[in-house]
Chains A and B, each alone.
Chain A
Amino acid sequence: MKNKAIRFITKGSIYFLLICICYIYMLPLLRMISSIFMPEADIIDPAVDWIPRTFSIMNIRVAFSVLDIRETLVNSVWYSALLAGAQTFVSALAGYAFARFNFRFKKVLFVLLLATFIMPLPVLLIPRWIMFVSVQTAVPGLQLIGTPIPQTLMAILGQGVNSTILILIFYSFLRLIPYSLDEAAMIDGASAWQVFWHIIIKMSLTTILVVFLFSFVWNWNETTQTATFLRGGIRLLPMQLSMFEGLFYGAVLDTDAQGAMLNEAYRLTATFITIAPLLILYGFVQRFFIAGIENTGITGE
């Protein structure tokens, strides 16, 4: 009887703790959601905390027009998808090479692959930038900075955002595919490329999806390199958000709606709109995301 009571209390307190932490986790998101429909009067009113007295869609309209949603959303989607596609392809190739062949310096290269992950970005960013600018000035008529070329090039050559993790996901998945499949195909005269294309790719469709999703999300959220190389050449949603204040007052001056003030609700609404596509994506495919990290094999065995 006593035992049962203790167990009940333990379980109860664990649930309590988990729910409390859940709340802290969600707090910023809940704040955003609550401020979406909040009119200006309710923001100043200290009596209104979470639920606004009257619902208004003013915030959404302001955020939509400041972010220029129609253009930036489309841009963000295709740009992230492009980089994600490139990253997925090259990660599959590299993962296949590491998982299947014994080549010279394999261990050294593997260590270098892991080292890439902890290499702080600023150290690489400056020379990369100088490199692209130099090429641009050396070849007349070639425009690199401000176009998608630098980032696409880095993605397709396996140096995009968190490429190491993506390669590791492929590496540890491909090691689980029995080698006898490759062998059988090769005895029947298939080349290594055919094995890769017809067997490996088809066996690892789920992994490809996982890698693509991660890469998509990470590229969507990446702003440091994007700010350096793309320079607003294509307007992307997270970039617009980072310039929200300036854009807001610019827009106000244009429409001579004088005296309009930027308030927190506008900014939080804009933030929510920026992450909303990712939340929707997560809602549909969340099990892939978690499974993806579980299967990276970076848990150290």
Chain B
Amino acid sequence: MEESIKKPKRKKVSNNILSPKMQNRLGLLFLLPWLIGFIVFTGVPFFASIYLSFFRVEQTILGFETTYTGWGNYFTILFQHLEFNPAMIEYIVMIFTYTPTIIVMSFILAYFLNMKLRGRLFFRTIYFLPVIVLSGPVMFEVMDAGATGGEIELMNIFIFRMVYYYVPIAGEALLVLFSNFSIILWFTGIPIVLFITAIQKINPSLYEAARIDSASTWQILFKITLPLVKQTILISTIFTIAQLGIFATNPLSELIHESMHTSGGLGQASAMAWLYSIVTLLIIGLCALLLRQKKA
């Protein structure tokens, strides 16, 4: 994205009739509300929470009282807290199972939706629907209902029972996947749209050239389409991880939210939030590393 600013095509903007000084002033002026907000509500809190995580923070009538504890908060969380480590593991497992499923499913769906099919718009409308209704409380209710009704329902399907009978492990795995499948799929809305746009932007003459050289559909898919949407895979992955982090079904953010108001205090909650963020950012960094565009 940052590269796009450099594109010579946009040079026109810099040949502005406004002087550079004027542009500088006006640009910052229009950006001012965002800039203030960024400093006050994102920049300062970012550093403040590092600071807070080394303190014991107590709320009194007069305000907040802080006492320095060094690495105490981190030590307590990692070695003494009963819920933090399991929640962290659950969170990491969730990210590593959900994200690939979401990305693969949304690519497949986007690929199909790009074909000349009847009812394409209908399908798109349905697949985008969850973006509109997805929220914490709704997810809780749906998952609650799904956990009680879904499994029994699945056992009624003949093929599933057959699989379960012959290969119990596969059946078990399918059960876990399918009882959460609706929820997992509900995160694919925006990635699908991103993939559709990316696939549409691929130059059709590339396909033509490949077909003339007698490439099969599979070869075209793996040698042309996939490499060209790599950037989109990365963006969708980052987007998905961010979305999974925001939602209240995430075990860790629930825990952090609880400990804000209970015994551990705000210092401990900050330390938890930091550990959580470091893990999230590391995962995002890892994805960026794996999916980065190799400069030819």
Contact indicator A24/B137 (Cβ below 8 Å): no
Q: Tell me which residues across on chain B come within 8 A of A111, comparing CB atoms.
A: 2
Q: 1/0 per position for A90-112, CB-CB distance to B under 8 A?
A: 10011011101111101101111
Q: Tell me which residues across on chain A come within 8 A of B57, comparing CB atoms.
A: 130
B131 interface residue (CB < 8 Å to A): yes
Contact residues of B: prevailing secondary structure: helix
Cα–Cα, bound, A220→B133 (Å): 9
Contact indicator A118/B145 (Cβ below 8 Å): no
B72 interface residue (CB < 8 Å to A): no
Cα–Cα, bound, A70→B142 (Å): 24
Chain B nearest Cβ from A162, distance in angstroms = 9
A65 interface residue (CB < 8 Å to B): no
What is the size, in residues, of chain B's interface with A at 8 Å between Cβ atoms? 111
Chain B nearest Cβ from A192, distance in angstroms = 5
In residues 257-297 of chain A, which contact B (Cβ within 8 Å)? 264, 267-268, 270-271, 274-275, 278-279, 281-282, 286, 289-290, 293-294, 297
CB < 8 Å: which of A106, A124, A134 contacts B27?
A106
Residue of A101, A102, A121, A290 with highest tally of chain B CB at under 10 A: A101
A196 interface residue (CB < 8 Å to B): yes
Q: Which residue of chain A is the closest to B241 with respect to CB atoms? A: A118
A141 interface residue (CB < 8 Å to B): no
Q: Tell me which residues across on chain B come within 8 A of A17, comparing CB atoms.
A: 112
B171 interface residue (CB < 8 Å to A): no
B36 interface residue (CB < 8 Å to A): yes
Q: 1/0 per position for A202-239, CB-CB distance to B under 8 A?
A: 00000000000000010011111001100000000011
Cα–Cα, bound, A67→B192 (Å): 34
Chain A nearest Cβ from B84, distance in angstroms = 13
Question: Quick one: given A15-B117, A120-B245, A175-B10, are A298 and B41 in contact (CB under 8 Å)?
Answer: no
Question: Quick one: given A128-B45, A154-B41, A293-B190, are A238 and B135 in contact (CB under 8 Å)?
Answer: yes
CB < 8 Å: which of B5, B31, B45, B242 contacts A103?
B31
Give 16 A-B contacts (CB < 8 Å), ordered by A residue.
A18-B117, A25-B182, A93-B33, A102-B24, A103-B27, A110-B1, A123-B277, A124-B46, A130-B48, A131-B45, A158-B38, A159-B42, A221-B134, A279-B132, A290-B124, A293-B193
Q: Beyond the given A122-B252, A192-B26, A241-B138, could you list 5 further A-B residue pairs with CB under 8 A, ordered by the A residue number? A: A31-B145, A126-B270, A158-B33, A223-B135, A224-B248
9 closest A-B pairs by CB? A157-B37, A101-B27, A221-B135, A103-B27, A127-B45, A158-B34, A97-B30, A300-B231, A122-B273
A residues engaging B (CB < 8 A)?
11, 14-15, 17-18, 21-22, 24-29, 31, 90, 93-94, 96-98, 100-104, 106-107, 109-114, 116-131, 133-134, 137-138, 154, 156-159, 167, 175, 179, 183, 186-187, 192, 196, 217, 220-224, 227-228, 238-239, 241-242, 244, 264, 267-268, 270-271, 274-275, 278-279, 281-282, 286, 289-290, 293-294, 297-301
